[in-house]
Amino acid sequence: MKTSRRDFIKISTIAALALLGAKSYDLVVSRRLSESLLLEEAPVAGVKFVKTFGGMCGALCGIQVGVDGNGRPRVVFPIKEHPQKGLCGRCASAPWLWDNPLRLKKPMVRVGERGEGKFREVDWDTALNSIASKLKEIVDKYGYKAIAITHHDAWTYYMSLFSYLFGTSNVISHVGMCHAAGTVARGHVFSAGGPPSIDPDYENASFLLLVSRTLSTASMGAVHRAMTNERLEIVVVDPRMPEVGFANVKWIPIIPGTDAAFALSIIYVLLEEGLYNADFLKKYSNAPFLIKPDGKPLTEADIVEGGDARKYIVFDAKDKKLKDHREAVDPDLWYVGEATLKDGTKIEVKTALTLLKERASKYKPEEAERITGIKAGDIRWVARKLALKNGVVHDTWYISRNGNDYDDVRALLIINALLGNIDKPGGLCFQESARFPSVITVKTVEGKRVAETVYGATMPEELFGDVTQPRVDRAKYKLTPAQFDAVLDAILEEKPYPVKALFVIGTSPLMRDMNTRKVIEAYKKLELLVVIDILPTDDAGYADYVLPDTIFLERDEMTSTKWTLHAVVQKQSKVVDPPEGFDVRDALWIMFEIARRAFPERAKALGWDDKYANYKAYEEEFLHKLDDSIISRLAATWKIDKEKLEKALEEEGYYVLKRKEYYVRPYKTALGTPSGKVEIYSLAALGAGLDPLPDYIPPPAYTLPRAPNEFYLVNGKGPLTSVHASLMEPMKFVGDRSVWMNPRDAERLGIRDGDMIELESIDMGLKAMARVKVTEGVREGVLFTYSTMWGRISKLLPEGHFAMEGINPNLFAKGYVIPIVGGGASNSSVRVRKL
Amino acid sequence: MRLAFVWDSRRCIGCMACVIACASANHPELLREAKPNPQWNWLGGNIRVVVRDVGGRPVLRLVSCQHCDNPPCVHACPTGASYIDERTGFVRLDPSKCVGCKACVVACPYGARWLHPVTMLPEKCPGPFCSEIKKAVCAEVCPAGARLVGDLDDPESPVNEVLRKYKTERMLEHLGTEPKWFIITG
């Protein structure tokens, strides 16, 4: 047998790599060079594909993972028929996560000062017992409410279970730094929830306006539907060009923090030029409601003795009478006139739409151009396109940026209402609910409340602990879906009560939350900080205990499919076991085991038997019972055969429970808003002490840049954004750790592409260094950098790790929270100096 | 058979799935050690990302072997190691004939070849994993439906369908390389 040059090289390489202690270089060995590409499809010898869903971010796209003969994940493909098929750079790098040298392998206890990064590996029993003992001490002194848990996407389903397990209401997610303001706005206008409870119907849309939203972050299913829709025209409005701008997309740069002025200007053009859907507004919105001079709606209670305050009055153009909106034949959208109150007083009333137009008139395109930097002609063009092409405006997602974002989203949602393109093909649609069973629900049995888990365990009211106490964030921001900044306040100021123990599960407040310095101060004041994660985040460096979690490839899980309008359930199948030497555990097991040791009666009530301390028993019995209960519940809810559902989840990875049914809300089913209609004039906002109409206010979250060397520092997400994925090796090359600067700014300041600059926060005085990328992808006067990726400070990372380069924009964000709404703000302003 | 690649620049959102998947599938031995492909100072994969400001905004191009019908790398190769595979029309490398002279690397006007830092072989598309599974990983993973591979000699092939339907261009066509790598531009 002849030895070819390549064979020789292979042999030498293998020997060299073996010397280097490398683990798997089978690829070099197994090359079959005699075969050519694409003659016919054939599975590669030994590579098996397992259908699952991606866990590199919260989108959970339908993927299949190819595992080679050595049991190593090698490649990730989409599941082609999946309703949310696709993957981006994050899931493409999942094969590196499995045996990544950075992965947390064993429980660790801190031995140095907080943040010093000195830890000692311990066994699970030692770690769990110590944590349990400290927790008991804290609870004895301060109550269960002194425990807080924060998380992002991993293990989200179980968070309400953890709340009962630890007797605390303080389970507070990342949402305050993501979509909180948008979610409150969605609730106020459409009584919808977080994204994507409403979402554009990408595959049928003809014109899509994305304001401060990039499709290239998460939801690759949405990307597929949008990009393969040949009729779809997309316009992006953003201070920087998001990656979706690489496609055939019109990008309009906007001055940061002025989205509301842009949206209100669009509203003005639609109303002024008669480009609104009058029929929709009359029947399905509160546009014709008459509003009193005090801003409150005129109701039957105002005009008739003993009248009903829930009967909102409109002017019926048919018989020229004031009447209940449900009885009017032709509600006048533009009525302005007198109404006589029950005591005989006459007041002037105007329709909600009239008030909206008065508000929007402050932002005629020429005025909006001055505020937003977008040409008046472009504003009119977008407005007319939206109307003439029956367009749709995206309801936004990551929006916690400038402190005025609630009004941005409300105004954008109102544009959709004016177009009347709601729950129709190609419009802004309500997602069909998968009616996925909650892991825990509270019932009343014989006058007493009982918490019941999906798998049938019950906890009596006596064991609720502080679950019913007000959450620290809602005590401060009553409408917020979540605002972690209030947890920091509770740690630092002990108001409304002290928080002393914090669990950080699969997330990184140091990267995620604004004002990094405040997070560090709070961490230092805690009595117990436990980080459960897969990689050494910055937060792990400050923890008392670091507990290694499993990765999504190593576990079974079920969930509803997130980014589709259909009701779909999907299954994550275990692709691989943890690599040898990785003593990792599911966070679910970890939390139960801490509770079993600290509060045995709580764990027991929630169905945790002592035998589950054995991890194998947990995997084989507890998880089996849990999965079986969820499937049984889904099968019963949807009246489908359980075996059929199980088989589909096993073989296909997903099951479509119900396809999207259009023209339901608000047409056949009333909305959950106070009026039951789409509210262009938000009665819920009014009730909460907020302006019922959106308005533009200059960004309150930071001092506006003024001097020639001062800039807005804006941040955003991209297809690689993830606290975890950004530590994978491919990101060393593909990840952009620079700060973007417009070429005209660069020329003015004598800065060239690749130069190092110093950024100094105008509000905080902090300084950091970064490399500049000179690009037309950001508008003049603005700097851009990716969020939650770079500028790492963890001492658990190897010295000089590439993720330490670049900046964490939250370092400069001073920590502004929108009152009542509770949305945070991650943008800031900085001075620039060339180094 | 003359296999060709089509990349739809109108659909590509620069998500990097193809770039990372190509590297991860074809050259994981480089990434685990975080060794760069020295030619491009880039990850060890066959797709290079080029972004340039054109007309006031950044424009993206993904560059890999263009599988030219008139390939300069093949003409430059002194040993016949670089050749056109008649069964597929792809430009390939026979490592048993490669003497490591790097003439192909220099000759390629697209800069599509890169030297493997361990084997020193001039790597290019298609990589070994793609060859083995007989699928182009980049086309398989693309979430935007922006990538396609098919036979130019087959009139029914989806590639010919899109070439008939859309405006396309080929990179550095004026050099007469006859690349079989089409970019849909409109």
Domain boundaries, chain B: 3-184
pLDDT in tens, A310-337: 999 999 999 999 999 999 999 999 999 9
- What are the beta bridge partners of residue B182? B6
pLDDT at A108: 98
SS3 B186: coil
Print burial letters for A409-448: b (CB count within 10 Å at least 16), e (below 16): bbbbbbbbbbbbbbbbebbbbbbbebebbebbebeeeeee
Q: Are strands A62-67 and A73-78 parallel, antiparallel or unpaired?
A: antiparallel
- pLDDT band (50, 70, 90) for residue A26: very low
Strands (E), A607-653: none
| Cβ pair A223:B131 closer than 8 A | no
* Tokens 């053009």 found at: A269
Element (H, E) at A418: helix A405-419
- Residue of A9, A87, A246 for testing the chain B interface, max B β-carbons within 10 Å: A246
* Tokens 């105007």 found at: A350
Question: Is pLDDT of B75 > 50?
Answer: yes
A629 Cβ partners below 8 Å, 6+ apart? A437, A454, A455, A456
Alpha-carbon gap, residue A364 to A379, rounded angstroms: 9
Chain A residues lying within 8 Å of B1, measured CB to CB: 39
Q: Give Dmax over CA atoms of chain A in angstroms.
A: 109
A542 Cβ partners below 8 Å, 6+ apart? A114, A115, A510, A520, A523, A524, A529, A531
* Tokens 């109108």 found at: B10
- C-alpha distance from B185 to closest chain A C-alpha (Å): 9
- C-alpha distance from A175 to closest chain B C-alpha (Å): 24
A25 touches chain B (CB under 8 A): yes
pLDDT at A219: 82
pLDDT at B36: 79
| Cβ pair A31:B3 closer than 8 A | no
Strands (E), A182-329: 198-200, 207-211, 233-237, 249-252, 290-291, 313-316, 321-324
Q: Between chain A and chain B, how many beta carbons pairs sit less than 8 Å apart? A: 230
Q: How far out from the chain centre does Cα A90 lie? A: 16
Question: Is pLDDT of A432 > 50?
Answer: yes
Residue type, A450: V
The answer to whether the CB of A138 falls within 8 A of the CB of A504 is no
Across the range A746-764, mean pLDDT stands at 98
Alpha-carbon gap, residue A119 to A109, rounded angstroms: 5
Alpha-carbon gap, residue B69 to B78, rounded angstroms: 18
Which among A38, A221, A733 has the least Cβ separation from residue B36?
Answer: A733
pLDDT in tens, A381-402: 999 999 999 999 999 999 999 9
pLDDT at A69: 84
Alpha-carbon gap, residue A234 to B9, rounded angstroms: 14
Q: How far out from the chain centre does Cα A310 lie? A: 35
Chain A from 767 to 786: CB within 8 A of any B CB: 775-777
Backbone angles phi, psi at A733, to 5 degrees: -100, -40
Q: Is cis: bond before B95, omega within 30 of 0?
A: no
Question: Is pLDDT of A284 > 50?
Answer: yes
* Percent of chain A whose predicted confidence (pLDDT) is above 70: 95
| Average pLDDT for chain A | 94
Between the alpha carbon of residue A158 and those of residues A437, A469, A596, A630, A691, the distances in Å are 12, 20, 16, 13, 36
- pLDDT band (50, 70, 90) for residue A63: very high
Alpha-carbon gap, residue A26 to A49, rounded angstroms: 18
Q: Which is more confident, A291 or A10? A: A291
Which among B11, B31, B85 has the least Cβ separation from residue A96?
Answer: B31
The answer to whether the CB of A183 falls within 8 A of the CB of A477 is no
CB-count burial class (<10 Å; 0-12, 13-18, 19+) for A2: exposed
Which of A551, A496, A602 minimizes the C-alpha distance to A100?
A551
Q: Both tokens of residue A476?
A: 């401060």
Alpha-carbon dihedral sign for residues A39, A41, A47, A51: positive
A27 touches chain B (CB under 8 A): yes
| Cβ pair A78:B96 closer than 8 A | no
pLDDT at A44: 57
A218 Cβ partners below 8 Å, 6+ apart? A57, A58, A59, A397, A563, A717
Question: Is pLDDT of A18 > 50?
Answer: no
CB-count burial class (<10 Å; 0-12, 13-18, 19+) for B62: buried
A393 Cβ partners below 8 Å, 6+ apart? A208, A209, A211, A263, A386, A412, A413, A415, A416, A428
Which among B13, B128, B131 has the least Cβ separation from residue A243?
Answer: B13
pLDDT in tens, A155-172: 999 999 999 999 999 999
pLDDT at A45: 58
* Percent of chain A whose predicted confidence (pLDDT) is above 90: 92
The answer to whether the CB of A719 falls within 8 A of the CB of A217 is yes
CA angle B63, B65, B67 (to 5 degrees): 135
Alpha-carbon gap, residue A37 to A44, rounded angstroms: 12
pLDDT at A98: 94
Strands (E), A352-405: 392-393
**Total residues belonging to chain B:** 186
The answer to whether the CB of A211 falls within 8 A of the CB of A262 is yes
Closest residue, chain B, to A20 (C-alpha): B33
Alpha-carbon gap, residue A768 to B132, rounded angstroms: 47
- Residue of B6, B8, B13, B129 for testing the chain A interface, max A β-carbons within 10 Å: B13
Alpha-carbon gap, residue A171 to A159, rounded angstroms: 7
Print burial letters for B117-140: b (CB count within 10 Å at least 16), e (below 16): bbbebbbbbbbbbbbbbbbbbbbb
ipTM reported for the complex, 2 dp: 0.96
Which DSSP string corresponds to A69-135?
TTS-EEEEEE-TT-TTB---HHHHTHHHHTT-TTS--S-EEE-SSTTS--EEE--HHHHHHHHHHHH
Across the range A428-446, mean pLDDT stands at 97
pLDDT at B186: 86
B155 touches chain A (CB under 8 A): no
| Cβ pair A241:B57 closer than 8 A | yes
The answer to whether the CB of A794 falls within 8 A of the CB of A538 is yes
Between the alpha carbon of residue A29 and those of residues A8, A818, B115, B123, the distances in Å are 11, 58, 18, 15
Q: Both tokens of residue B145?
A: 């439906």
Chain B from 94 to 153: CB within 8 A of any A CB: 94-96, 98-99, 118-121, 126, 128-137, 140-141, 143-146, 149
pLDDT in tens, A299-309: 999 999 999 99
B86 Cβ partners below 8 Å, 6+ apart? none
- pLDDT band (50, 70, 90) for residue B27: confident
Alpha-carbon gap, residue A314 to A414, rounded angstroms: 20
- C-alpha distance from B57 to closest chain A C-alpha (Å): 5
Question: Is pLDDT of A719 > 80?
Answer: yes
Q: What is the pTM of this model?
A: 0.95
A1 touches chain B (CB under 8 A): no
Between the alpha carbon of residue A13 and those of residues A10, A712, B126, the distances in Å are 5, 50, 21
Classify domain B3-184 at the CATH topology level.
Alpha-Beta Plaits (3.30.70)
- pLDDT band (50, 70, 90) for residue B150: very high
- Residue of A23, A31, A32, A37 for testing the chain B interface, max B β-carbons within 10 Å: A37
Chain A from 52 to 111: CB within 8 A of any B CB: 61, 66, 74-78, 85-89, 91-93, 95-96
